[in-house]
Amino acid sequence: MEEGKKRMAVLVGCNYPNTQNELHGCINDVLTMRDVLVKRFGFDLSHIQLLTDAPAAGRSDIMPTGANIMKALGEMVDRAEPGDVLFFHYSGHGTRIPSVKHGHPFRQDEAIMISLKYLGFLLTNVDFRQLVNRLAKGASFTMLSDSCYSGGLIDKEKEQIGPSTIPTRDPAPSDDHKPKSIPFETILQHLSSLTSICTHEIGTHLLELFGSEASLKFRLPLHGGSILWPELLKPDDGILLSGCQASEISADMSPSPAQGGAGKAYGAFSNATVLKEHSGQLSNRQVVMMARQRLQANGIEQHPCLYCSDKNADAVFLWQPQENYKSKIHKMLVNWGWWS
């Protein structure tokens, strides 16, 4: 990598311990990813921030509250310079919430569910859009979300690999397979019990509980019953690799030793990104397609997707173009006045 260019990452794993929605493989996912980033992609360990909600080897003391996650992501984005590579890996629950956009009364938007004691904090597709909009020109922001309903988690990002033409359905729960989702109705009921406010508008509950820390989706100025979105529509260099389509669930796997899993839990998509099994460079498109193939081979009914610009679809995963040797020599000669 060219000298002076930074590689930075925020890794978030939420297992929701001691709740009825507890998962088992999410912290394992981000610990594995941390090793891959260092050993394969040249990330400095000091530039990787790890946030988990249960004790784990080498984890930071920062808990994955919504405020802490957005602070870590915001600081990473604000430090970015042209050529820098930024990466966000989330493994945990996802959900869908009714859209508050004008003209989309029946649409549902994507969100991730941050919970320490099942508090109900949501980060939405609008929050990730706003982060990408702040990104320095020439830097990249890659998001890998191993969560349910994760397709489209960066709002307005162009779909490159999207919904499968094959009809899909939510797989039935099994002993080794748990969906990484919390139903919206469950979240709303819990938030209502905390605020004692009688409304089905989830934004009202979140603003009451979290105020200025609530998702940007619910803090944007309202005008005539619709939300103003002009700053959210400009071109960007965000890259989303989602664990499934916006209408699907992602699986948290807890295979027994008899099933060849040595008892170690993991997220199906995180495990299927096959980064450790290929020594060569893979494009963002190849990573997603190979993950689809691997999940299908293992009988897991979820379809990873890719959302990014046309240019970034075939760009190498977690890699930025660098000047070749000849161009560097030419630049040196020009700077020395030996070449025009």
Catalytic residues: 93, 148
**Phi/psi-derived region of residue 27, left when phi > 0, alpha when psi is between -120 and 50, beta in every other case:** alpha
**Chain Cα centroid distance, residue 39:** 21
In what helix (H) or strand (E) does residue 310 lie, and over which residues does it extend? helix 310-313
Of 304, 243, 293, 265, residue with least CA distance to 176? 265
Integer Cα distance of 250 and 120 in angstroms = 19
Sign of CA dihedral 27, 32, 37, 38: positive
Task: Return the bridge partners of 159, or none.
Answer: 307
Per-residue burial over 288-309, b if 16 or more Cβ lie within 10 Å, else e, is bebbbebbeeeebbbbbbbbbe
Contact 278, 287 (CB under 8 A): no
CA angle 140, 142, 144 (to 5 degrees): 180
Of 105, 71, 97, 94, residue with least CA distance to 149? 94
Between 184-195 and 202-210, two packed helices, what is the crossing angle to 10 degrees?
A: 50
Which residue's structure tokens are 């649409």?
107
